[in-house]
Amino acid sequence: MRCAIALLLLATPVAAQDGPANGTRYGAWVLSCEALGPGQTVCALRQTLVADPGDRFVAELLAFPAPDAGDTTWFAARVPSGAYLPSGFALRPHGAESGLRFDWQSCSPDLCEAVALVEDVAGFENGPAIAGYLPGLQAAPAVFEVGMEGLAEGLAALR
The CATH number assigned to the domain holding 50 equals: 2.60.40.1880
Domain ranges, residue 52: 5-158
What's the pLDDT at 4?
43
Q: What angle do CA 86, 89, 26 make, to 5 degrees?
A: 165
Q: Give all strands (DSSP E) within the chain, no chain letters.
A: 14-15, 25-26, 29-37, 40-51, 56-65, 73-80, 89-92, 100-107, 111-118, 129-133, 142-146
Per-residue pLDDT tens for 94-113? 888 888 999 999 999 999 99
Largest CA distance in the chain: 48
What's the pLDDT at 39?
79
* Chain mean position to CA 7: 10
Alpha-carbon gap, residue 149 to 142, rounded angstroms: 22
What's the pLDDT at 93?
92
Per-residue pLDDT tens for 48-65? 999 877 778 999 999 999
What is each CA distance from 17 to 7, 29, 90, 115, 124, in whole angstroms? Answer: 21, 21, 35, 28, 30
How many domains, the chain?
1
Q: Are 144 and 132 in contact (CB under 8 A)?
A: yes
Which residues in the chain show pLDDT less than 50?
A: 1-9, 12, 15-16
